Amino acid sequence: MITVKSTRELDIMRQAGRIVMLAHNRIRELIAPGVTTKELDRAAEEVIRKAGGIPSFKGVPCPYGGFDFPASICASVNQEVIHGIPNDKPLKEGDIISVDIGAIFEGFHGDAARTFEVGQVSAEAHRLVTVTRDSFYKGLEMVREGMRIQDISRAIQQYVEQNGFSIVRDFVGHGIGTEMHEPPQIPNYVSRERGPRLRRGMTLAIEPMVNQGDWQVKLLKDKWTVVTKDGKLSAHYENTVAVTGNDPEILTKL
């Protein structure tokens, strides 16, 4: 069932979103060649807990029968699309890294992802990161009362494909509230389902995942990390958004 949030609940979600973005700001400060994703994970968890939040991802059961997720952030480097597990491998000059962060505050979730550039990256990697971010905002333009989920999907897909990249189809955005993943699903491509009409008070995690090459992906043996099937780069951009009576509101902001 799609939940519609009250004014009070939206205010709590703004606080959850603020905590997420405090952690993202800390990540942005730390990212550099030589830093490990485990160091980023420790820093993000420290920020979340200091602000009164709880990491959303830590301990989440694996949907594919593997171990519970062991970290507070997903850290996906280069060809890793989503759900990368933080480790001791240092980042290198020219890498791109997608960092997904979730936080719970007073029972409600905030969720946002960014793809960061490590030092000087290639022109094509930079363009991928930029188009992925901009595709989110194309989708955001469709977040209006009375519009459908498919309108968001179409705007994202058209922009990405016009720029020569491809949209991941195996994973999608989602509703969010007291659960990290709530109805409705929000594909980043046009599917057969038009989806429900948007109503004031709905909260959505819109998150285009964009590949440099083909859209197909595969799951690694750890049963968490998803990578591009062709080994090319991938980028990710996400915010938690509320449907209002006017312009949409991004809840994951400072």
Cβ atoms 149, 184 nearer than 8 A: yes
Give dist(CA 132, CA 140) in Å, integer.
Answer: 13
CATH of domain 7-250: 3.90.230.10
What pTM was estimated for this model as a whole?
A: 0.97
C-alpha 69 chain-centroid distance: 16
User: In the structure encoding, which two tokens stand for residue 228, read together?
Assistant: 């591009």
Domain ranges of the chain: 7-250
Cβ atoms 102, 83 nearer than 8 A: no
Give dist(CA 115, CA 104) in Å, integer.
Answer: 22
| The pLDDT value given to residue 195 | 82
| The pLDDT value given to residue 194 | 81
pLDDT per residue as tens, the chain (254 positions): 899 999 999 999 999 999 999 999 999 999 999 999 999 999 999 999 999 999 999 999 999 999 999 999 999 999 999 999 999 999 999 999 999 999 999 999 999 999 999 999 999 999 999 999 999 999 999 999 999 999 999 999 999 999 999 999 999 999 999 999 999 999 999 988 888 999 999 999 999 999 999 999 999 999 999 999 999 999 999 999 999 988 999 999 99
